[in-house]
Amino acid sequence: MIRVFLAFACAPLLLSTALAARPNVLIIMADDCTYNDLPMYGGQNAKTPNLDRLASQGLTFNRAYLASAMCQPCRAELFSGLYPMSNGCAWNHSASLPETKSMPHHLGLLGYRVGLAGKVHVAPKQAFPFEDVSGFDRSCVRNPTQTHDLAAAKAFISRNRIEPFCLVVALVEPHVPWVMGDPSAYPPGKLKLPANMADTKLTRDAFSRYLAEITYMDGQVGELLDLLEQTGHADDTLVLFTSEQGSQFPGNKWTNWDTGVHTALIARWPGVVAEGERTDALVQYADVVPTLIEAAGARVDADAFDGTSFLSVLRGESETHREYVYNVHNNVPEGPPYPVRSISNGTYRYLRNLKSDDLYIEKHLMGVQGDGLLNNPYWQTWIWASWNTPRTYNLVERYMHRPPEALYHTASDPYELENLVSNDNLQSIKQELSDELDRWLKSQGDPGIEQDTAETHQAARQGEHRFRPPAKH
């Protein structure tokens, strides 16, 4: 049973004072936004004045991660404080275990109103009983995305000055289709493409539209920050912005590479979080719920979560948090089974492709939309250019034909293009990470290859989980 204890249960006066100091919480999520396409993480193209402002007012996490670079598993982790195997959502478009407890349960016990506006993409409702807040599009694949309206969010924030609120605004940009914003602000020929992208005309055109959606998303961030000002809640609200997983360009989303599982994370909490600072503390989505519980003045049952609170990092009392972050990928239903597992200490990443003899295939690159058009036509230009462009050939081969093991020095190679697994000087760090990954997989009850099958995924969609984690939770 999951338990949350108020730290002051036997002291009514102290409890009253503590509850009065509970912060409101606003979590703003982008959708499919590669972290280092944002200027505060070195992006050389996107214009994000509102996120730049937020970063100048708060703490930017250099090394924040999620366990799975897919929309549904990463959101289930964020909202539950549990890894994919623990909460049951280990594939995209699958349900968590019905007994899973999440943010509405935990913060609700502490007197919070907990709402969600925009894209939900977690199930079942009993595990994620957010109050529905309208005004933002729930569909990330609408063309064009519906325009947004802040009226419902304002009403939710302003409803009760006594009860604190926690509002998640899950935006749908810059998820494909890239149809919002002004691509003319990003002339394709002038863009600086990331190192893991092939340089073709259609790629540049697509990247221009993606960048336009990042700027459109940034505008919504600005409106939400202004809403806090208008409602008098700018100073008593902990704001968290996160970019979710990487974009749908090859090598980001649906991978365990850094550009898939590394997420942007900015925290603003006036009077508590220092302004304009950065931290190298290693944190993961599973750590967010425990952090919010502790920030609300409550004690966290360590056995209830995979994550742990990083409140001491927010307060500037510590520069470290985790020693490792952990990542999984199960490819069904996005393509044929292709399970991947990885671990990072923030400097090095060790990665295993459990079916490395197979080609990696992801249907959104290979498939078609309902209108018969190629979903991502630029990928075909990568294939075409690979016959006489060695760099492009290497990118295509890296994406589709992967080795059993890989070791990357992510700190100096952020796109993880150089596999160092055979480097004699790095065998000790490889062994350390491999042993820790084994320990973690065992603790999670992860069966490996057997988990990533169409049959197992279909059972999970129907709420029947063939593989359950140890009874810890």
Ordered by where they begin, the domains of the chain are 4-323 (3.40.720.10), 327-461 (no CATH)
Return the exposure string of 104-143: e unless at least 16 CB atoms fall within 10 Å of the residue's CB, then b: bbbbbbbebbbbbbbbbbbbeeebbbbeebebbbbebeee
Quick check: pTM over 0.85? yes
Q: In terms of Cα–Cα distance, which of 73, 119, 112 is closest to 96?
A: 73
Residue type, 24: N
Q: How many CB atoms lie within 10 A of CB 202?
A: 17
pLDDT tens digits in sequence order for the chain, 473 residues long? 333 433 333 333 333 334 447 999 999 999 999 999 999 999 999 999 999 999 999 999 999 999 999 999 999 999 999 999 999 999 999 999 999 999 999 999 999 999 999 999 999 999 999 999 999 999 888 888 788 999 999 999 999 888 999 999 999 999 999 999 999 999 999 999 999 999 999 999 999 999 999 999 999 999 999 999 999 999 999 999 999 999 999 999 999 999 999 999 999 999 999 999 999 999 999 999 999 999 999 999 999 999 999 999 999 999 999 999 999 999 999 999 999 999 999 999 999 999 999 999 998 876 544 444 446 789 999 999 999 999 999 999 999 999 999 999 999 999 999 999 999 999 999 999 999 999 999 999 999 999 999 888 988 888 788 887 775 54
Rounded to 5 degrees, φ, ψ at 420 are -105, 20
